[in-house]
Amino acid sequence: MKFYADGNKSQTLMAHINGVKTNASVFADDFASGAWGALLGDWHDLGKFTEEFQYYMLEDGPRVEHAAPGGRYATDQFDDPLRKLALQFSITCHHTGLQNSETLRKRLAGAAQLLQGAIKNAPVDLLSRELPSWPAWLTPPSVNADRQEIDGWKKDLEFWIRMLHSCLVDADWLDAEKRDPCTPNRPDFPSIIVLRDKLDASIDEKVSATQKDNWTPVNEQRQEVLNACRNAAMSDVGFFSLTVPTGGGKTLSGMSFALNHAVENKLKRVIVVIPYTSIIGQNASVYAEVFGRENVIEHHSNLTPEKDTERNRLASENWDAPIIVTTNVQFFESLYANKNSKLRKLHNISRSVIILDEVQSLPPKLLYPILDAIRELREHYGCSIVLSTATQPALKERKVFMCGLKEVKEIIPDTMKLARNLARVNVAWETDGVMEYTDISKRILAENMQRVLVVTHKRKDARELADLLPKGTYHISASMCPAHREDILAEVKKNLGLEDLSLPVRLVSTQLIEAGVDIDFPVVFRALAGLDSISQTAGRCNREGKIIEGGQLIVFRASTEPPPGVLRVGKSITESLMKASEADYVACCADGSLDLSSPELYNTYFRLFYSGVQLDGAGVQNARTQLDFPEVAQRFQMIDSKTYPVVVPYRTAYGKLETVRAKFKPLREDFRALQPFIVQIYSPEFDKLCNVGAIDSLHEKAFYYLTPQYQRLYDERFGLVVTEENLFPDCSVLVQ
């Protein structure tokens, strides 16, 4: 009997097995596990050698399990209970995603009879394989090891199983693509060397042009940052920190380090990990201007249809591209996922340069498993990790922070000197008493502040202040959909760039404006918050250093508190540091106020911050030691609160919504087309809207949207505003 890999008889089973074996072996070679990858490929489809499976596949017979027999064969063939775990999990789960030990045990127990049929038909030489040795770094601890060492090894094992599973899944899917002549070809990309040369030439050209036309002290410091990055790139693989004040040119200088470092150490790709979808497009556009849009792969939920090309989609499936730009959520949740669609790309993270942008924004409650994953990638998978930020968190190992990172090399030779040279802001700490928003509005008008940014704690605060200021005052918050925010920011940037300084450009925003938004105001107000937030806001003040005497940052005590959780904890720690005397605390200015330009200040701040929060509040690490992959995925959720995506009536949103409504089965591009018009709503607000009939849904709740009589809740200035006062229907739309 001839055995096939698919129901169309387009590929023999042995051809498929050999193809998967070759790819899986090559993939796993990146972390010294090539023999393991080959064995996974050999046995992953042993179950297809049964007559029952061939009948199911070719003649539409009863469904038959085909993955578990290979796992069962590994169970019976080898005696070492620990070494065969990776084979059991990866082979048995290569279609279902990684399961827990109990589910695995039941599936293996039920595969005994099917295995006998497979052994009868499989080639004899395919069945004769040796169990590979452990990679040197994964040798099990001795029986006398302590609990901590044993648990550490279990987590190493768990991560290795994930990586091997990724090799098998990607190899399997790639080989299966060959069967379908309609499957598009995988995209080709320039080499790392070509991209490195293109970036360095582009930067050098810009520097040369700027030196002729508009060279400033800030440009001088950016050049110093670039030189430091290029010099440090010659280092061996390791942990690096890139501590550069906002506006110091981290985006391109960091990429220059990454590409030069990748060339020097023969690494495969650069992965830029960014915390917020609101700024990922801005950074990706900077890279696209240099490398070409087609060579910058974006993988995140806010991807627009124009960027969601077939090329981008294919490369996003397994990250087989030299430059990937993604989010914290996508990157870290994939590392701890159990579904194949997310796990598939993991092996391609090995031997990469990973830039963790705005690294201080990593969620504290998951910091322990996050740092453990970073350590794994550095120590066992050939990665270099760059911790990039203006406010470097205290992530290095110490006695009271044993989960920290060892041997982190700072790229900037003198971070204090750079911070001093890039200081462009005079800080006024006006925090002795509460400053009401009426006081701020009166002051802005009395002092004729034509160009001013105010950052508040909450959306309601931002609306209140914007209403107090003259007509034409801009507003930005998460109550607005991304397209709305982008339009406002574009107009603000345009007006800030005009030479007519008498044109008022006043913006009130929540902290959404802080991280990475390239905007420049001479005067900025910031409600008292965590030091990292205050520093990020300072980066929007005199960003280009055009005001020689310095911009003005006014830190005030608001009448409201930040939202509960880490934001409120951050404010509390800032207040405790403010109370410390100059004798007790060194990072102070001459007047005794906190020195925002001091890197040491943020080290102290984050030490205090991490000492007051649970670093594995979700219990991820314990679930990992149990090899409970679904439980780990469930516990490792980067976003705390449940939100609902609601399409709002902005620009062409509802026209696109009608297109989706008319389709029996919407396409991927239909979903993408609506992304710019979605506001994420928390459960309490969502429930209120549902209770009054303000929310409806399409396609089994794939989309929610405002019903016609409640579309007026989306305000052209403030976005979606839900209050007790306005939660009533506009019945006039029903009689038109």
- In order of start, what are the domains of the chain with their CATH numbers? 13-177 (no CATH), 192-418 (3.40.50.300), 424-596 (3.40.50.300), 643-734 (no CATH)
Torsion on CA atoms 626, 631, 635, 639, rounded to nearest 10 = 140
H or E element in which residue 720 lies:
strand 719-720
* CA angle 219–222–223, rounded 5-degree value: 90
> Among 606, 535, 536, 537, which Cα is nearest to 577's?
606
CA-based radius of gyration for the chain:
28
* Residue 131 backbone phi and psi in degrees, to 5: -80, 120
pTM: 0.93
- Output the pLDDT for position 608: 92
Contacts with 732 (C-beta within 8 Å, 6 or more apart), sequence order: none
Q: Return the ∠ at Cα 87 (arms to 81 and 93), rounded to 5°.
A: 120
Q: Cβ distance 29 to 132 under 8 Å?
A: no
Angle (CA) 512 518 519, round 5°: 85
Separation CA 580–CA 594 (nearest Å): 10
- Retrieve residue 64's tokens: 């038959």
Please give the Cα distance from 37 to 34 (Å, whole number): 5
* Distance (Å, whole) CA 441 – CA 122: 80
As a whole number of angstroms, the distance between CA 577 and CA 3 comes to 72
Q: What is the mean pLDDT of each run of 10 residues along the chain (736 residues)?
A: 92 97 98 98 97 94 95 96 97 98 97 94 96 96 92 97 98 94 91 97 88 80 95 98 91 97 98 88 90 94 80 95 97 98 98 96 95 97 97 92 93 95 93 96 96 96 97 95 93 90 92 80 97 92 88 97 91 91 62 88 93 91 97 92 89 92 82 90 93 90 89 96 89 68
- Sign of the dihedral defined by the CA atoms of residues 120, 122, 126, 132, in that order: negative
* Residue spans of beta strands (DSSP E) within 369-418: 384-389, 408-410
Residues 6+ apart with CB under 8 A from 143: none
Phi–psi pair at 565, nearest 5 degrees = 105, -145
Burial of 545 (0-12, 13-18, 19+ CB in 10 A): buried
